[in-house]
Structure 1
Amino acid sequence: MGKFKNIIIIIILASVIGVGAAFLFSQKTASSEDKPLTAEELVELSIDTDIITTNLASASNFAVVQFNIALDNKKTKEETENRTSEVRAAIISTVAGFTKEELVSKDGIATLEEQLTAKLNDMLDKGHVERVLVTEFKVQ
């Protein structure tokens, strides 16, 4: 009976140690994934668009814009670079849907960035767009 008790205790201790090690390992992995990207990684995983001029939804107004698109990995960056004309078309159609008043409002640029991020994510097969930033913005 004593040997059986010792075996049970050893099995329980091994299980507790194993579960504890797995928990610590998963915490360490999760914290390393949440770490913000370095400046070099951001440059490596982002694309700058050309300067784009397009009409706006309001009469006689146009916008001159440029964007920085941050992507989640190198394969997504490669796919996005191969779809340059589609990205450009998505940008033009999104910007053209805004009026001058909407774009220059308090939340105009943030709304544009959000809509463009969603539209580009729908377009991609691999990975996703982390964020879109307006890097040049002129409205006339």
Structure 2
Amino acid sequence: MFKNKLVKIMLIILIALTLIGVTALVVINYFSSTSDEPKELTIEEVIELSVDTQEITTNLLSNDYIRIKFKIQTDNKKAKVELEKRDFQVNNIIIRELSGMESTDFEGPEGLQQLEDNLKVMINEILQNGKVVQVYTTSIIVQ
């Protein structure tokens, strides 16, 4: 009988410790869970993950011409290195997109925002080691 009583006490203690441990894990995970939103990068991190394009001059559909330059922000260093190697493909994407636009498309921020969004999607299609987070227009002249 003493052995059975000792086994019962030991089982009760093990179950109690297990319950306390599980409760502690649940509480820690609940209160320390981070949201799925990406953290805000510092300006140094943004610059470190960004690639500048060459200044591109090309004709528009409206027989005007545009001189434009972009800064493309990636999500990791591997994507940045890959994007630097694919600069000729990026330039091709930019020129193709610009050749179908008119000078009136750049009147106001909506047209420029649409161009940046389109470039982001098309560049993401060619990247294999990451993705483009943002495309910034750093210089633009339409004549």
Flag whether TM exceeds 0.5 (same fold): yes
Task: Tell me if 1:41 matches 2:48.
Answer: no
Match of 2:70 in 1: 67
Q: CA deviation at 1:8?
A: 2.8
Match of 2:19 in 1: 12
Three-state SS of the structure 2 residue aligned to 1:107 is helix
Match of 2:123 in 1: 120
Q: CA deviation at 1:19?
A: 2.0
Q: TM-score, normalised by structure 1?
A: 0.87
Gaps of 5+ in 1: none
For 2:49 and 2:108, the matched residues in 1 are separated by 30
Match of 2:112 in 1: 109
Aligned residues: 136
Match for 1:26: what amino acid?
S
For 1:106 and 1:19, the matched residues in 2 are separated by 48
Match of 2:30 in 1: 23
From the CA coordinates, give the structure whose radius of gyration is larger.
Answer: 2
Q: CA deviation at 1:106?
A: 4.2
- Supply the RMSD in Å over aligned alpha carbons: 2.0
Q: TM-score, normalised by structure 2?
A: 0.85
Percent identity of equivalent pairs: 34
Three-state SS of the structure 1 residue aligned to 2:16 is helix
Gaps of 5+ in 2: none
Equivalent in 80, 86, 90 of residue 87 of structure 1: 90
For 2:33 and 2:109, the matched residues in 1 are separated by 41
Match for 2:45: what amino acid?
E
Three-state SS of the structure 1 residue aligned to 2:39 is coil
Match of 1:99 in 2: 102
For 1:84 and 1:41, the matched residues in 2 are separated by 21
